[in-house]
Structure formats: C-alpha cells, structure tokens
Amino acid sequence: MLKVSHLSVGFERHIVLEDISFEVQPGETLAVIGPNGAGKTVLFRTLLGLHPYQGKIEWQPGVKIGYVPQRFSLTPDLPLTVREFLQLKSRNPREIEEELTGVGFEKGFLKHPLGVLSTGQQQRVLIAWALLGKPNLLLFDEPTSGVDPAGDETIYHLLHKLQTQRGLTIILISHELQIVFQHATKVLCLNKTTMCYGPPRQALDTTTLAKLFRVETKHHQGEHRD
C-alpha cells in the first residue's frame, strides 16, 4: 500500500525528519509514536504532498486517502450544520447519510450545528468526512486528541469496526501505548529519525521507550522543578 525509503524533510537549515524508511501492507494498522516535536505530523503532511522532501514515497496505484486532522476548533455560533459541512465534500445525500450512520449517528443528527457538538462528536463527524469518497487508507493524527478518556476506547473501537467492515488500511499517530499494543500491527517510533520499527511487542522494549521519550521526560521534569 505504501513504501517510504530514506525520507528526509527540512525547513531552511532545520532537519525535521532524517532517513525514515517503512512499509505499510493492505489491511495493516501502523501506529506512529514519539515525543512532542518528533516530526509525526510533519510525516503525515509530507505523505499528503504538503511538504517537499528527499527520498521516496511510493503509493500503491489507485490508493485513495482519507485524512482526519489532530484538532478541529470551532466557535459555538458557527452557522454550519453537520449536513452542510459534509456537503462541502460530497453532494450525494445517500453517501452522506451512509457515512454518518457508519460512525454511529442517526440521520437526524445532520441538522445539528457543528459548533455545539462535543469533541468526541466532532471527531466522529471528521471520520465521516474522511470516509466520503470511499478511501482505502486512512490517516489519523491522534484520533482521540481532546476526547475524554471514556470516549477514547469508543473511537478506537469504531476505527477497528470500520477497518474490519471495509478492509481499510490505517496509519495513526498515538501517544497511548496501550492502544498501540491493542490495535497496531506495526509501530514506527520517531524522534526526527527512526528509533524503532516493527510489531509492537518486538519493537517497543524498555530500552527503546527510554531512549524515545527521554527528551520529553527531562522537559517535564524541568517544568516540575520550576
């Protein structure tokens, strides 16, 4: 589905990603993990063609990509309903209703104003948006960012259900190791370069995790001392 070889990304003289290589097979779930500032979102944006890069990004011919961003900040008085938002991507009423019910909402939910929805509800609407057009690969930048802990597992359960029903391939960014072990077939550990890659139970040993997150740990310790 996707093969990335020796990928490097930089802005001016600042290297953000260096010599990243990995593969994703059809039907797999690849979790991308790493500390803040490791280049995870830059990797996604590069895969979407939004940043120049060196190396190779090879997509399977005919692949269709759906993307769910990390944050979706809206004002409560935004004059846009769920239906109107989804119509920005598809004018097919049947497809819109199908994808909305696919993420767990009734058709009547289409009339709700987008700005008054909870974070979890907005996330489901974004997933419905990503599914419009019938993609076969989904990119999720932290699917549960800002969602309450009780809703985390619900979102991941939904993703797993959609993957099973539709034969989807999923690449997601996550900070939750429990979710990585539970749902991912492969994990890519990033901190500007590749720190580990492979099945989670083989790649994520104690030594690797300590190296991967030591910068973030020191940062938090410094904050605590202040």
Q: CB of 34 within 8 A of CB of 189?
A: yes
Residue-level pLDDT at 219: 40
Structural domain boundaries of the chain?
2-63+136-225, 72-134
What pTM was estimated for this model as a whole? 0.85
Handedness of CA 180, 186, 189, 190 (dihedral sign): negative
Side chain identity, residue 80: L
- Report the 10 Å Cβ neighbour count for 112: 15
Residue-level pLDDT at 223: 41
- As a whole number of angstroms, the distance between CA 104 and CA 106 comes to 7
- As a whole number of angstroms, the distance between CA 66 and CA 45 comes to 13
- As a whole number of angstroms, the distance between CA 224 and CA 152 comes to 27
pLDDT single digits (tens) 71-121: 667 777 788 999 999 999 999 999 999 999 999 999 899 999 988 888 888
Residue-level pLDDT at 78: 81
3-state secondary structure (DSSP) of residue 197? strand
Asked: is 2-63+136-225 a CATH 3.40.50.150 domain? The reply is no
- CB neighbour burial string for 19-58, b if at least 16 within 10 angstroms, e if fewer: ebebebeeebbbbbbbbeebbbbbbbbbbeeebebebeee
Side chain identity, residue 120: G
- From 213, 214, 188, select the one nearest 20 (Cα to Cα): 188
Q: What are phi and psi of 166, to 5 degrees?
A: -115, 0
Pick out the chain residues at pLDDT < 70.
Answer: 71-72, 143-153, 215-226
- The encoded tokens of residue 216 equal 């973030």
